[in-house]
Amino acid sequence: MATGLSGRQDGVLDASASAAAFPLGGIGTGNVSVGARGELRDWELANRPAKGAKNPFSFFAIRVAPGGPDAAGGPDGAVPVTCVLEARHRPPHEADQGYYAGDVAGLPRLADTRLRGRYPLLELDFVDADLPVDVSLTAFTPFVPLDEDDSGIPCAVLRYRVHNPGAAAVRVSVAGSLANPVGAGPGRDVFHFPEYAGRPRNEWRAADGISGLFLTSDLPADHLRSGTVALTTGRSPGRVTAKPTWLYGAWQDGVQRFWDEFRDTGSLTPEPVASLDPEPHPHWMTRLRVGSLAVEADLAPGASHDFEFRLTWHFPNRPCGWGGNIVHDDPYLDEVVRNAYATRYDDAWAVAVDLDRRRDPLESATRAFTTALYDSTLPGPVLDAVGSNLAVIRSTTCFRLADGTFAAWEGSFDQVGSCEGTCTHVWTYAQSLAWLFPALERSARRTELLVETRADGRMNFRANQVFGSPAWDFHPVVDGQLGTVLRVYREWLLSGDDGFVHEVWPALVRAVEFAFARWDADGDNVLDGMQHNTYDIEFVGADSRAGSIFYAGLLAAAELADRVGDTGLAARWREAAAVGGERMDRLLFNGEYYQQHLADVDAVRYQFGTGVLSDQMLGQLLAHVVGLGHLFPPEHVRSAVRAVHTYNFRPSLLAHESVQRTYALGDEAGLVLCSWPRGGRPRIPFVYADEVWTGIEYQVAAHLAFEGLVDEALEIVTATRARHDGYRRSPWNEAECGNHYARSLASWALLLAWSGVRTNVADRSIAVDPPAGTQALRSFFSTGTAWGRLDLDDDGLRLHVDGGVLHLDHAVVRGAVLTTTRSGAVRPGQTLTFTP
Amino acid sequence: MATGLSGRQDGVLDASASAAAFPLGGIGTGNVSVGARGELRDWELANRPAKGAKNPFSFFAIRVAPGGPDAAGGPDGAVPVTCVLEARHRPPHEADQGYYAGDVAGLPRLADTRLRGRYPLLELDFVDADLPVDVSLTAFTPFVPLDEDDSGIPCAVLRYRVHNPGAAAVRVSVAGSLANPVGAGPGRDVFHFPEYAGRPRNEWRAADGISGLFLTSDLPADHLRSGTVALTTGRSPGRVTAKPTWLYGAWQDGVQRFWDEFRDTGSLTPEPVASLDPEPHPHWMTRLRVGSLAVEADLAPGASHDFEFRLTWHFPNRPCGWGGNIVHDDPYLDEVVRNAYATRYDDAWAVAVDLDRRRDPLESATRAFTTALYDSTLPGPVLDAVGSNLAVIRSTTCFRLADGTFAAWEGSFDQVGSCEGTCTHVWTYAQSLAWLFPALERSARRTELLVETRADGRMNFRANQVFGSPAWDFHPVVDGQLGTVLRVYREWLLSGDDGFVHEVWPALVRAVEFAFARWDADGDNVLDGMQHNTYDIEFVGADSRAGSIFYAGLLAAAELADRVGDTGLAARWREAAAVGGERMDRLLFNGEYYQQHLADVDAVRYQFGTGVLSDQMLGQLLAHVVGLGHLFPPEHVRSAVRAVHTYNFRPSLLAHESVQRTYALGDEAGLVLCSWPRGGRPRIPFVYADEVWTGIEYQVAAHLAFEGLVDEALEIVTATRARHDGYRRSPWNEAECGNHYARSLASWALLLAWSGVRTNVADRSIAVDPPAGTQALRSFFSTGTAWGRLDLDDDGLRLHVDGGVLHLDHAVVRGAVLTTTRSGAVRPGQTLTFTP
C-alpha cells in the first residue's frame, strides 16, 4: 500500500493524492472542490450532488515574463513561461477519448504540489524547479461559527500568491477561465460538454468596486436551473483584462485563441465575433460559453503579489421535494423552492460585492476559527477528525430553505442525495452542527417535533413534510425519536432558550410517552418491542443501544421538565430511567459487556444476540455529551466500551470476512460494528454487522475518552483518519450510505471528550474535566453563544473570545471551583480568566 | 511516474496495474475482461459498450482444506483457507457507499498477481505466501485466424490450475459465482444492482456431457435484452455442486449463506426456499439472481488439478440501427436484428456444448496462433502492438449481423459506439483484419461499393444502410473512398477471388472516376478541391496525404483493371498516377518533406500549410503494404518520413502545448500529428493537429521500417506501447475517438514491414524482403488462405502451416528466387521449404 505515499509528511499531500478533494462552498450553497493537483473538481454548485462532474475549460493559468526594463523582451532573452496552475496529471490516464478537450490536459503543467488542508482553510504550494517564481494557493469559503449566514455564502476565494525569488523583475499574469455553468444538466454531448437548458451568456462587468465576468442565461427566473455565476477580482489587484466569451463553434477555436493570446501577451481581449462558424448553426452546436479573466502585475526582485479571484454563484431554486432514493412520489417535485441564501442575495454579482466589502472580517473570522481549532493540545488525528468532517455541514448533504428551515440528507450519493428527510436516527450521532450552528439544530428539532410528531407521539423519522409531501409512513425508531428528545436538551444547553423549549414541549411529552406505550408494552421500563433502528432492520429483544438512548432521553426530558416546571413528569421519567436502567443492566450485562436479550438468535433474522455491539452504549455517550452522567454502573459501562475496543477494533482487516458494504479493507485498521468472541453469531446477523462506519468509530472513541480510556480511543481515531489520507480516500469525505455522511459529525464528541468542556448558557457555567493525565490544555470551545480558544494550566482557565458574546459566572475545573474578577459580557478579542 | 511500476518486468503486470483490462469474447459477441487483480470487469456481454459495468457478486473463490486422511479435520489442526481468487483492492478506494455489497470487497483476498497477456491468451499467477497452494489462471476465447466463426464464439474459458507444493494432501474447491445478467439494463438501484427487463431465472443443468448453471429469463425471444448465459464445467472436472439461485430479498441474505456454506464445507447445496422475506415482495425488490458452481478435488502432494469454468452467453438481438452519436434518426432502432453467432447457436447452453466438444482443437489453434505471433524475431514492442490491438476485432467496436454482414464503429465510447458506419477513412488505416479474417474485410468492401456508392460514384463514408437507414448525406472523403479502392486490391491479393473483384468492379470504376470529377476539377491529376478527411474538417489546398492515397488507389485499381481485362482503364489510371504523382511531388516537396499547397494558411481554418504532417505519406505506406512500390521519388519519400520522425516525434511531451484531446502527455513520448519547424503554423490549425494517435504512430512507424529507417520506427512503437503499460492505460485498449479504436489496427503493417513478407494467392507467390540487417527471421505469416510460422535463415525459407491451406510455387527472398521440391497444397502441421 506504500506506493504514492512517499510524498506524504505530517498531513501534507502531494499531487498523487488523487482521492483528495477539498470542498469549497458554504452551508446550503453547493460546492466546488480543489484536488491535490490544485485543480478544480467536483462541480456541485447547482443544488445537487455531482461528484466527478467537470466544468470544461475551467482552470487557472500563469504566465511569467521578464519584467521591468526587460518587459518588452530584454537582451537576456528570457523566454516567458506559461502553464496551467495545476500539477501534471498522474496515471492512470483516462480512456474513451483520452482526456477530453475541456480538460486541457495537453497544456504544460507543474511538477508537483504540497497541499495542507485544515478545513475550512486550504493552503497549497506548487512545486516546480523550472518555474521562475514561487506560487501558492490559499482557498476558502468564509466559516464563522454561530453565523450560518456568513458561513453560507455561495462563494470561493482563490488567492494565488506569487513570489519573485529572482534577481530580476518579472511580469506575471494569472488567468482564470470558467465555462458558464448556468443551465447545465447532467447530460453530456459527444465532446463531453454539458447539455444546457436555456442559453448561457457571459458579460464583462465593472461595478461596485469590483470587476470580472458575470455569467447568466436566458432561463426564466423560476426555472430549476436558472442562476448566475461571477468570477471577479477585487480592488487594485493589478491590470485586469478579460475575454468574456471565447469563440465557440463546432470545434474548439476558442481555447486555441485564448491560449495563444494569453501565452503571447499575458493579457486578454474580447473576441470581435462570437463564432467563426457560418450561420445558421446546427442544432447540436454546443451552448458552452467560456470566459477568462486575467490579472497582470510586475514583481520586483523579492516581491510578492496576490492574484485573488472570487468565484461566486447563485442558483436560487431547488426542487420542492427530496427527489431521493426512498420516497418516489414527491407531489411537488416539479415546483421550485428557494434556497436560504437567495433571500439574502439577488444574484452572484451581489454575492461578489458583499464578499469584496466584507472579505477582511470574514477571512479573519475564518482564520481565527482555524487557529482556535487546530492550534490545540488535542491529538492530531482527533483534530483532523473533528475539522475535516465539518465539510459535511457545507456539502450537498445539508441545505436551508428560504423560510430558514434546515434540512439534510443522511449523505450524498455521487449524483443524488441519499436517504431523505433529516433522518433522526442518523443525525442523533451528529454533534458538530449543534456546537457551531446551534440555530440549525433547533430548526431540525422544530421540524421533528412540531411537524413530524403525530398526535399519538409517534415521530416520522424522515421529515418529508418540509416540502409539503405526505408524512412518511414507516416504523417509528426508538434511537431517532429519543435522540431528538435528548437533542432538545442539548439545544437548550447551548442556547438557554426557554422559549424554544416551551415551543416544542407538548410534542416532546407525546414523543416520550409514545416510547413507553410502543416499546415497553409490559411496563417494566425496559424496551423490548420490535425496534426499527439505524441498521435499517428491527431488533426484537431488549438491547442496551436502544435502552441507553431511552434512559438518556428520559433524563434529558426530565431536565427539560424541570425547566418548564412539570415536576411530576420530571420525577416519573427519572424514576423510570433509574428503575429501568437497573433492570436493563441486570438483564443484559454479561459480566463484560451488554448483549441482546434473545432466546433464539436465529428465530428472527438480523439480530446480534451474544455479540459485542459497538453501539451498545450509544445512549451513554450521548448522555456524557450533555453532562447527564452515568446511566448504568460506571464499571459496567467502562467494561463494555473496553470490550468494544478489545473485540471490535481490528489493527488489520486482512482476515476479516464481510459480505456487506466495505468501508475499510485489507491492511487497514477499523472498528467493526459487531463481533462474537463468545460465539453465537446468528446465521444471518443484522445487515451491517461486519461493516466499519466512521460515525460509530467516533462515538465509541469519544466514549472511551470520556471513560478515561484515552489510548484506546486514540487508536481508533488514528485508524479512521489513516484510511482517509488523501491517497486511499478523501480526507474531507467519510462515506457511509453516501458521501459526506452525517454520522461522521459524531466526531465533535471527540473534542468534547478530550477537552472535557461542558457549558450551560442559562446557568452561565462552564465545567472543564479533561481526561486524567492532561497537563496544559488548549482547545477550541463553543458555548453555543460564544466561541474561541480555551487555555487551561496551573495558572487557571482562560477563555479567549473570537466570536459571539460570552457570559460566564461559574467555572469548575476538575471538580474545583475557580473564580473570576470579571462579570458581564465578554466580546471578541477579549479574554475571560478564571483562577484557582 | 515511477510509482506502481516497480512490479513490472518484461511486460508482466502486478495487481496495481489498475488500467489493465484483458478482454475475453469473440468477434461480434461482446466481452468481459480480466483485470490485473484477476477480477472480472467491464461486463459487456450484451451488444453494447459498457466499460466499467459490474455484474454484482460475480467472482471466483477458492477453499483449501486438509485432504487425504486429514480431510475430516486431522490432528494437525490445519484450518481451511477460503478467499476470493483475486488480489486485494488497491487504493484509491471507492466512495459513495464504499465498495458496494456486490463487490464483496470485504472478503479475504490474495496479496498480488503476475499477469502476462499475450492476446488472445492470458496467463495470471496469484501470489500469496499464506495460501498453501499455487494458483494460476489461464483465460482465453478461441482465436483461429481465417475462421471468423470459431473466433466468434460467445464464450470465455477460465481455467484455474491449482498445484499442491506441500507434503500433505489437500482438498481444494473452486467456486464461480455469477449474477444472471439477462435483461440487465444500464440503470442501477440503490444497492447498485442492475435494473432488469423481465425476470431472470437460474437453473442447474447436467446434460450433453457438461453440467453447470443455465441462466435465462422470462423475456420474449424478440426482446432486445433477451438472452441466456451458462457457467459450466466439462467432463470429470472433480466433484461438482451448485447453488443455482442464492437467496434473494430486501437485504443480502444470499451472499452470507453462500459464503458460509462454501467456507465451511467446500461444496454447495440448493437453497430450500427462494427468499426468506415474506410475500408479497415490494415492487422494488431486486430481480438480481445469483448462482454459484463449485468444483472440488483432492490433490496429493506435488499434484496439480485444473478447475476449468466456461462462461458462455447468447444475446441474439441487437437494435436494427446504429444508435450512435452521429445519426439520430435511425428509423428501425426499435426493431431487432440478430447477431451472426445467433444463427449458429440456439442458446448459451448450445455454445457450452460446442465449446466442450471442440475445446482441444480450438485451444490448440489459439495457442498455435499465439506462439506463431509472439515467438518471433520481431522486436517486442512491435509484437506487443500487433497482438494487443487484435482485441479491437473482438471488442464491441466490431460486430456481425445474421446475414453475415460485417460492420463496425470507429471505436467504442464507454457506454455507446463511437461514430457509426464502418467509417471508410478510419478503417483505411486498419490492416490486421484483412490478414486474419479477410472475409470480413470483403464484406465491408461489398457494403461500401455495392450499397453505399451512389450512381455518380460518390461513396457514403458511413455505411448506414446495413440497417435499412437512409444513406448518409455528407461530404465524400478522398482518403476513405480511394482507400476502399486500394483495399479491394488488398482483399484480392489475400484471396485470389476474381469473383469478388468482378462483383464490385462497376462500382469501383465509378468511385475512381468520381475522384477525378470531384477533387480534380482542373484535370491536372492533382487533387485540390475541398477535401473532407479523417481529421473531420476539409483541406482546401493540394496535400500529399490525399494525393498519395489517390495515386496508390489508381495503381491498385489499374492492377484490378488488368485482372478484369480492362486494359484501357488500367493504362489511363497508371498514366494519371504517374503524371499526377510527378506534378504533386514538384508542387509540394519542399526539399525535405511534403507541405500543403496554399496561398494563405489562415484564409480558411483548419489547414496545415508548411507543417510537417505525420500522415503526409499515408498513401505511400498503403502502397507498400500491397506491394505497389514507390509512388514518388524514393529519396523524397524517405526524406519526408524521416522528417516526420525528426519533427513530430517527441521523446517527452512536457513542453508540448495542445488544447485538443489528450492521448499522451507529460513525460510520455509520442508522435504528434503535425508540427511547424519552419514556422507558418495557422492561427487555428486543423482540429487534431497537436494530438497523438496510435494509429498514425503505427502507420508512420511501419512506413519508416519499409523505408529502412528501422531504429526510428522502433522508437515510435516503443513509445506508443510504453504509454499502454497497464499502469498508465490498458495494454489492450488504444483509445482515440472511443476505446478499442479501429485505427490502431494499422499496427499490422508493422509486422508486414518488419517481416517484409508479401504474398499473392492468385500468383501462388511469396516475397520476403525484411529490413536490411535482419539476420535470421522468424515471424507469423498469413497469406489470407493459410497461416503459420515463417523461418528465414541461410538455409532458406520455411513455412510451417498452422491453419488453412497453403499453395505457393514462387518464393523470392531479397530479390533472389528460391526453389522448392514440393508442389500442391500444404496443410496444417506441414512445412513448406524453399532453398536457395
Distances (CA, A) of B547 to A211, B33, B534, B658: 53, 41, 14, 27
Contact between chains at A735 and B97 (C-beta distance less than 8 A)? yes
Give per-residue pLDDT as tens, B327-367: 888 999 999 999 999 999 999 999 999 999 999 999 999 99
Contact between chains at B3 and A4 (C-beta distance less than 8 A)? yes
Asked if residue B494 and residue B623 are part of one domain, the reply reads yes
Residue B562, Cβ density class (10 Å: 0-12 exposed, 13-18 middle, ≥19 buried): middle
Mean pLDDT estimate for chain A: 95
Q: What does the pLDDT average to over A214-237?
A: 94
**Selection from B40, B188, B1 nearest residue B122 by Cα:** B40
Q: Which residues contact B810 (CB under 8 A, 6 or more apart)?
A: B763, B764, B765, B766, B817
For residue A444, give the 3-state DSSP assignment.
Answer: helix
For residue A312, give the 3-state DSSP assignment.
Answer: strand
Q: Within a domain: residue A370?
A: no
Measured over the CA atoms of residue B253, residue B259, residue B265 and residue B269, the dihedral's sign is positive
Res. A6: pLDDT tops 70: no
The x, y and z cell numbers of residue B638, run together, are 524517405
Could you tell me the pLDDT band of residue B774, with boundaries at 50, 70 and 90?
A: confident
Q: How far apart are CA A792 and CA A225, in angstroms?
A: 51
Least confident of A671-680, A779-788, B182-191, B646-655: B182-191
pLDDT at A234: 80
Query: CB count, 10 Å around CB of A836?
Result: 11
Contact between chains at A97 and B738 (C-beta distance less than 8 A)? yes
A273/B contact by beta carbon, under 8 A: no
Q: What does the pLDDT average to over A149-164?
A: 98
Q: Within a domain: residue A268?
A: yes
Q: What does the pLDDT average to over A447-464?
A: 97
Mean pLDDT estimate for chain B: 95
**Complex ipTM > 0.85:** yes
DSSP-assigned states of every residue in B762-808:
TTTEEEE-PPTT--SEEEEEE-SSEEEEEEEETTEEEEEEEEE-B--
Res. A830: pLDDT tops 90: yes
Give per-residue pLDDT as tens, B463-472: 999 999 999 9
Matching residue, cell 480510556: A709
Asked if residue B459 and residue B312 are part of one domain, the reply reads no
- The structural domain count of chain B equals 3
pLDDT at A9: 53
The x, y and z cell numbers of residue A470, run together, are 405526505
Least confident of A341-350, A542-551, B400-409, B818-827: B818-827
The x, y and z cell numbers of residue A318, run together, are 431547488
Res. A258: pLDDT tops 90: yes
Q: Within a domain: residue B3?
A: no
Q: Which residues contact B532 (CB under 8 A, 6 or more apart)?
A: B474, B475, B476, B477, B478, B538
Give per-residue pLDDT as tens, B190-215: 889 999 999 999 999 999 999 999 99
Give per-residue pLDDT as tens, A332-344: 999 999 999 999 9
Res. A291: pLDDT tops 60: yes
Distances (CA, A) of A386 to A389, A406, A751: 6, 21, 7
pLDDT at B69: 64
Give per-residue pLDDT as tens, A676-691: 999 999 999 999 999 9
Q: Which residue of A has its CA nearest to B687?
A: A251
Going by their DSSP bridges, the two strands B112-118 and B228-233 should be labelled as unpaired
Tell me the H-state helices in A283-413.
348-374, 380-388
> Smallest Cβ distance to A665: which of B105, B190, B661?
B105
Could you report how far apart the first and last alpha carbons of chain A are, in Å? 51
Matching residue, cell 461596485: A208
Range of the domain at B801: 758-834
Asked if residue A732 and residue A802 are part of one domain, the reply reads no
Q: What does the pLDDT average to over B102-109?
A: 97
Asked if residue A397 and residue A354 are part of one domain, the reply reads no
Q: How far apart are CA B173 and CA B292, in angstroms?
A: 12
Shortest Cα distance, chain B CAs vs residue A749, angstroms: 24
The x, y and z cell numbers of residue A536, run together, are 435499517
The x, y and z cell numbers of residue A306, run together, are 496576490
Q: Within a domain: residue B131?
A: yes
Residue type, A11: G
Matching residue, cell 499464506: B130
Q: Within a domain: residue A368?
A: no
B368/A contact by beta carbon, under 8 A: no
Q: How many residues does chain A have?
A: 836
Q: Which residues contact A167 (CB under 8 A, 6 or more apart)?
A: A301
Give per-residue pLDDT as tens, A499-556: 999 999 999 999 999 999 999 989 999 998 899 999 999 999 899 999 999 999 999 9
Asked if residue B703 and residue B799 are part of one domain, the reply reads no
Asked if residue B677 and residue B806 are part of one domain, the reply reads no
Could you tell me the pLDDT band of residue A77, with boundaries at 50, 70 and 90?
A: very low
Whole-structure pTM value: 0.97
Matching residue, cell 467519510: A734
Shortest Cα distance, chain A CAs vs residue B76, angstroms: 21
pLDDT at B430: 98
DSSP-assigned states of every residue in A754-772:
HH-EEEETTTTEEEE-PPT
- The strand ranges marked E within A703-826 are 757-760, 765-768, 777-782, 786-793, 796-804, 810-813, 816-818
Res. B583: pLDDT tops 80: yes
**Selection from B596, B544, B731 nearest residue B17 by Cα:** B731
> Smallest Cβ distance to A659: which of B92, B256, B658?
B256
Chain centroid to Cα A644, Å, comes to: 27
Q: What does the pLDDT average to over A99-113?
A: 97
pLDDT at A78: 55
The answer to whether A710 and A704 have CB atoms below 8 angstroms apart is yes
pLDDT at A774: 87
**Selection from A137, A102, A290 nearest residue A213 by Cα:** A290
Q: Within a domain: residue B2?
A: no
Give per-residue pLDDT as tens, A310-330: 999 999 999 999 999 898 889
Distances (CA, A) of B4 to B9, B16, B93, B277: 12, 6, 16, 46
pLDDT at B95: 80
Q: Which residues contact A810 (CB under 8 A, 6 or more apart)?
A: A763, A764, A765, A766, A817
Q: Within a domain: residue B274?
A: yes
Asked if residue A769 and residue A751 are part of one domain, the reply reads no
Q: How far apart are CA B486 and CA B445, in angstroms?
A: 10
Asked if residue B764 and residue B749 are part of one domain, the reply reads no
> Smallest Cβ distance to A3: which of B16, B95, B256?
B16
Distances (CA, A) of A28 to A45, A121, A151, A392, A402: 10, 18, 9, 10, 11
pLDDT at A80: 93
B4/A contact by beta carbon, under 8 A: yes
Asked if residue A762 and residue A747 are part of one domain, the reply reads no
**Selection from A324, A327, A259, A243 nearest residue A101 by Cα:** A259
Last residue of a domain, one of B708, B739, B755: B755
Contact between chains at B661 and A100 (C-beta distance less than 8 A)? yes
> Smallest Cβ distance to B106: which of A91, A252, A690?
A690
**Selection from B81, B134, B136 nearest residue B109 by Cα:** B81
Q: How far apart are CA B232 and CA B389, in angstroms?
A: 29
A236/B contact by beta carbon, under 8 A: no
**Selection from A428, A538, A527, A430 nearest residue A481 by Cα:** A428
Residues of A in contact with B95 (CB under 8 A): 19, 51, 414, 729-730, 733, 735, 739
**Selection from B56, B730, B17 nearest residue B412 by Cα:** B730
Residues of A in contact with B108 (CB under 8 A): 654-657
B738/A contact by beta carbon, under 8 A: yes
Asked if residue B165 and residue B52 are part of one domain, the reply reads yes
The answer to whether B707 and B641 have CB atoms below 8 angstroms apart is yes
Give per-residue pLDDT as tens, A588-630: 999 999 999 999 999 999 999 999 999 999 999 999 999 999 9
Last residue of a domain, one of B755, B786, B821: B755
Asked if residue A806 and residue A661 are part of one domain, the reply reads no
Matching residue, cell 499434484: B303
Q: How far apart are CA A410 and CA A392, in angstroms?
A: 10
CATH number where B393 lies: 1.50.10.10
Shortest Cα distance, chain B CAs vs residue A582, angstroms: 35
Asked if residue A475 and residue A420 are part of one domain, the reply reads yes
pLDDT at A524: 96
Strand partners of residue A155: A312
Task: For chain A, positions 588-607, list CB contacts with chain B under 8 A.
Answer: 605-606
Res. B174: pLDDT tops 90: yes
Contact between chains at B736 and A98 (C-beta distance less than 8 A)? yes
Last residue of a domain, one of A310, A328, A361: A361
pLDDT at B76: 47
HSE, CB side, 13 Å, CA atoms: give it for residue A824. 3
**Cis, bond preceding A771 (omega within 30 deg of 0):** no
Q: How far apart are CA B803 and CA B371, in angstroms?
A: 13
Q: How far apart are CA A463 and CA A322, in angstroms?
A: 10
- The strand ranges marked E within A218-352 are 228-233, 239-243, 290-299, 304-314, 317-319, 336-338
Least confident of A77-81, B183-187, B235-239, B263-267: A77-81
Res. A31: pLDDT tops 80: yes
Give per-residue pLDDT as tens, B740-751: 999 999 999 999
pLDDT at A74: 43
Q: Within a domain: residue A249?
A: yes
HSE, CB side, 13 Å, CA atoms: give it for residue B445. 28
